[in-house]
Amino acid sequence: MSDFAAIEIPQRILLGPGPSDVPHRVLEAMARPTIGHLDPVFLQLMDQTRAMLQRVWRTSNPMTLAVSGTGSAGMETLLVNLVERGDTVLVGVNGVFGGRIKDTAERCGGKVVALERPWGEVFEPGEVIDAVRRHRPAVTALVHAETSTGAHQPVEGIAEVVHDAGGLLLLDCVTSLGGVPVEIDAWGVDAAYSGTQKCLSCPPGLSPVTLSPRAVEKLDRRSGKVPSWYLDLTMVRNYWGEDRTYHHTAPINMLFALHEALRMVLDEGLDARFERHRVMHDRLRQGLEELGMRYLSQSGHTLPMLNCVAVPEGVDEAQVRRTLLGDYGIEVGPGLGAFKGKAIRIGLMGNSATRRNVALVLAALKAALPLASAA
């Protein structure tokens, strides 16, 4: 008999930067019987998952799949496959996750040129274009939805210049996919990655990625092996492709969950889903501003699904979060980096973006803020 007691998992309302609340349909899908990763039924499910991901990414890219790992694994997959030693990589750094791309690109041997902006601000397309023309990078990487600041980066109009310079445009869509428009083909994006636990409302553990034919061509022209065996797309694609060549044991039940989550996204409709996120954001913003909380992301470029707000002067943000979790079962996120100790991050992602949740978190904050005041 085990001498370890069972741990009772509490019911939380997940309004942080991720994960989001997972619908019962998705949890039930995870509990289906585990089958083999080469079972014909599972291969059929993989094909449908790819097709649904193409719709959500709004792309026709054949190289569209789910990496076995969280969003950071998707980031590393694209960089380790598309960046060779000595390649110039232009990275927009205006928060934690731009900095993470920079670090990973350097680990891949890239010569990184960091385009920097203060936390919460976005890059004007013109300044990105000027930097591309100046440095002619092999890869230009931007964060579409900077989870640490709530900033929504404009992307349109950049890819044409990147391609004219002979490079690829790479986009971090971990927080944006399924919550705001992501137009891979229309914007000319060559490589993008996301995570399942944000606006797709699936448990964390998979990273949807998509690569354009131009990116696949660069992958095929590599002068040496991809440094990571596990994340080597020259091999992984053969498992997701027609050959079905074994590479690693896929997280089978997680793919059951993603398949069901994508069905729910498409059942709702992408445009309706984007509108729901926008409406819930507007309701939350109005309530937060009435409580004296201001947004830290650049005006006009605030993500609807990730609200990074400063706590009022003299309020202990950690105490606010403890009260929300302990008294109300509501999880929100702390500030990171430059915003540590100064902000909280409220997520309205996927299944969590509801009128009920907006009303609950506003009522809880109204009670919690005075309790956390030093005055």
Mean pLDDT of 204-215: 98
DSSP category for residue 296: -
Alpha helix (H) residue ranges in 143-269: 159-164, 184-187, 213-220, 233-240, 252-268
> How far apart are the C-alpha atoms of 333 and 331, rounded to whole Å?
7
User: At residue 373, does pLDDT exceed 90?
Assistant: no
DSSP state of 243: S
Confidence of residue 117 (pLDDT cuts 50, 70, 90): very high
Look at residue 60 and tell me whether its pLDDT is greater than 90: yes
- Pinpoint the alpha helices (H) of 213-332: 213-220, 233-240, 252-268, 270-290, 317-328
Say which residue the tokens 């026709």 belong to. 60
CB 152 within 8 A of CB 302: yes
Domains in the chain with CATH codes: 13-17+269-371 (3.90.1150.10), 24-266 (3.40.640.10)
Distance CA 292, CA 180 (A): 27
Mean pLDDT of 84-113: 98
Q: Residue 164 in contact with residue 334, Cβ under 8 Å?
A: no
What's residue 348's pLDDT? 98
Work out the pLDDT band at 2, boundaries 50, 70, 90. Answer: confident
Q: What is the mean pLDDT of residues 112-141?
A: 98
Cis peptide upstream of residue 19 (ω within 30 degrees of 0): yes
pLDDT of residue 145: 98
Using the predicted structure, report yes or no on whether residue 375 has a pLDDT greater than 90.
no
The residue-averaged pLDDT of 249-259 equals 97
pLDDT at 69 over 80: yes
Interior CA angle at 24 toward 22 and 29, to 5°? 95
Average pLDDT of the chain, as a whole number: 97
- Beta bridge partners of residue 346, listed in sequence order: 307
CA distances from 200 to 18, 39, 131, 176 (A): 11, 26, 33, 10
What angle, 0 to 180 degrees and rounded to 10, lies between the N-to-C axes of helices 355-371 and 317-328? Answer: 120
Q: Give 310's strand partners.
A: 294, 343
User: pTM score, two decimals?
Assistant: 0.97
Beta carbons within 8 Å of 109's beta carbon, 6+ residues apart: 83, 84, 85, 86, 87
pLDDT band at 242 (very low <50, low <70, confident <90, very high): confident
Residue 81 reports pLDDT greater than 60: yes
Give the model confidence (pLDDT) of 293-343 as tens digits. Answer: 999 999 999 999 999 999 999 999 999 999 999 999 999 999 999 999 999
Specify the pairing of strand 111-116 against strand 88-93: parallel
Question: Buried b / exposed e across 330-361, counting CB within 10 Å, b at 16+?
Answer: bbbbbbbeebeeebbbbbbbbbbbeeebbebb
Encode pLDDT of 128-183 as tens digits.
Answer: 999 999 999 999 999 999 999 999 999 999 999 999 999 999 999 999 999 999 99
How far is residue 59's CA from residue 281's CA, in Å, rounded to a whole number? 27
- Position 173 scores a pLDDT of 98
The pairing of strands 343-347 and 13-14 is unpaired
pLDDT of residue 1: 77
What is the sign of the dihedral through the CA atoms of 357, 10, 97 and 372? positive
The answer to whether the CB of 296 falls within 8 A of the CB of 343 is yes
Question: In this structure, are residues 169 and 162 in contact, taking their beta carbons and an 8 Å threshold?
Answer: yes
Q: Report the chain's terminal Cα–Cα distance, integer Å.
A: 53
Q: In DSSP terms, which residues pair with 222 in a beta bridge? A: none
The pLDDT value recorded for residue 374 is 65
Task: Please report which helix (H) or strand (E) contains residue 346, including its range.
Answer: strand 343-347
Taking phi first (over 0 means left), then psi (-120 to 50 degrees means alpha), and beta for anything else, what does residue 282 get?
alpha
The DSSP bridge partners found for residue 206 are 68
